[in-house]
Amino acid sequence: MSSARAIVHVDMDAFYAAVEVLDHPQWRGLPLVVGELGPRSVVSTASYEARRYGVRSAMPTLTAKKICPQALFVPVRMNRYRELSADVFAVFGEVTPEIEGLSLDEAFLDVTRSLRLFGGDIENIGRFLKQEIFNRTGLVASVGMAHNKLLAKLASELSKPDGFLHIRSEQVHAMLDPLPVGRLWTVGKVAEANLHRLGIRTVGELRFAEPRRLRQACGNQAEHWQRLARGLDDRAVDTDAAEKSVSAETTFVTDLVTLEQALAWLVRLGERVGERLRAHELRGRTVSIKLRKPPFETHTRQLSLPQPTDSTTELLEAARTLLKRWWAAEPAPRLRLLGVGMSQFAPEVQTGLFAATASQDKLADQINRRFGQGSLVRGVVLKSRCGASEDG
């Protein structure tokens, strides 16, 4: 079945950094790092100019500054990235309804049933996607095409930046065999090291490895990895891969040491989550909070609501309860990171008692969209003035 599919993988090139350059043309050509300088801040995205110095996503920004002193560091603007992501996904929707979004800037598209509209050629679809995304956003996408997800993603990765590559059935082994075995999906660092100990360093060597010896060394994953090495992947594009949760979290430059501070930040994060729920027409049943004590001791707490909701008020009531319980149980509570989330989504519609609250929330959303994020907030949010690196 997989050989009959036509799969496209689209990945925007250095998306956050590219958006910043789009909005600030004077930064073009500079080593740009999206992420504020601070002892606990990390790189969200780096431009290709910065990557040449070794700057990578998730690297501490202070490390990035050491290896690339001339880099320009700019704050994350998540609302702007979401805005342009919506434009990109709108282009996807003009080609096929079978879209599996992996992030704001990456998706799989099953275009099998769209081929006839584009002359039966998947490359026509790839060209259309690249050109339309550029025409509407000014941003560059890398496009990989193949008959399954594994190969389509590899195609976009291998051809970046500004990539365009179609891996045909007859090209599979020639493309895969020379690659490091770690390039295969699900082969992580530990698995790669285990394979290296067997003398297996390339995908081709994995493909030809003796199955019994491989199974003895690697267990149940051995057969799966050899299938991937042959370019076989039966995963379908999952159009139901909608957000499993909506969350926001913040890492603090200075630890929070009072409950008052923590509650103020909790409200700030909860308002952001509530607005996202309503923007995506999602109602969740489970509220969770994430708490990290210094240095890296992480706790999570969650509470299930009697019915799904997108109400910020209900979300915050549950989140406050969880935070207060945790705070009271800790002998010396300090917070390095705080997060709020909602999950277990369901389609039920709010009625009756909560209708007025929902209406107020939506009015606040409209005001913030019109006049800028944070134009209207709960008063307690004004107490969250300590420095932080907001992670979205």
Distance CA 96, CA 349 (A): 29
pLDDT tens, residue by residue, 14-38: 999 999 999 999 999 999 999 988 8
CATH 3.40.1170.60 maps onto the chain at 15-77
Torsion of CA 186, 190, 191, 193, to 10 degrees: 140
Can you give the pTM of this predicted structure? 0.71
Higher pLDDT: 348 or 262? It is 262
Query: Above pLDDT 70, what percent of the chain?
Result: 87
Least confident of 36-45, 134-143, 238-247: 238-247
At the top level of CATH, which class does the domain 245-390 belong to? Answer: alpha beta
Query: What is the H or E stretch that residue 101 is in?
Result: strand 99-103
Architecture of domain 173-229: Orthogonal Bundle (1.10)
DSSP bridge pairs for 304: 286
Q: State which amino acid sits at residue 36.
A: E
pLDDT tens, residue by residue, 195-217: 999 999 999 999 999 999 898 88
pLDDT tens, residue by residue, 102-112: 888 999 999 99
Predicted pLDDT at 352? 43
CA 304 from chain centre, in angstroms, equals 25
Predicted pLDDT at 82? 87
CA 378 from chain centre, in angstroms, equals 28
CATH 1.10.150.20 maps onto the chain at 173-229
Whether residue 83 lies in the annotated active site: no
pLDDT class of 4 with cuts at 50, 70, 90? confident
Task: Show the CA angle centred on residue 380, arms to residues 244 and 344, nearest 5°.
Answer: 15
pLDDT class of 311 with cuts at 50, 70, 90? very high
Mean pLDDT of 51-70: 95
Annotated catalytic residue within 20, 36, 49, 106: 106
Largest CA distance in the chain: 68
Predicted pLDDT at 6? 96
Higher pLDDT: 357 or 246? It is 246
Predicted pLDDT at 241? 61
pLDDT class of 188 with cuts at 50, 70, 90? confident
Higher pLDDT: 247 or 323? It is 323
Predicted pLDDT at 374? 52
CATH 3.30.1490.100 maps onto the chain at 245-390
Tell me, what DSSP letter sits at residue 171?
A: G
Taking domain 15-77, whether its CATH number is 3.40.50.1100 is answered by: no
Predicted pLDDT at 1? 40
Burial class (CB in 10 A: 0-12, 13-18, 19+), 357: middle
Predicted pLDDT at 251? 83
| Residue entry with tokens 């009697």 | 306
pLDDT tens, residue by residue, 340-382: 999 888 754 444 444 444 555 665 555 555 544 454 455 555 4
Q: What is the mean pLDDT of the chain?
A: 87
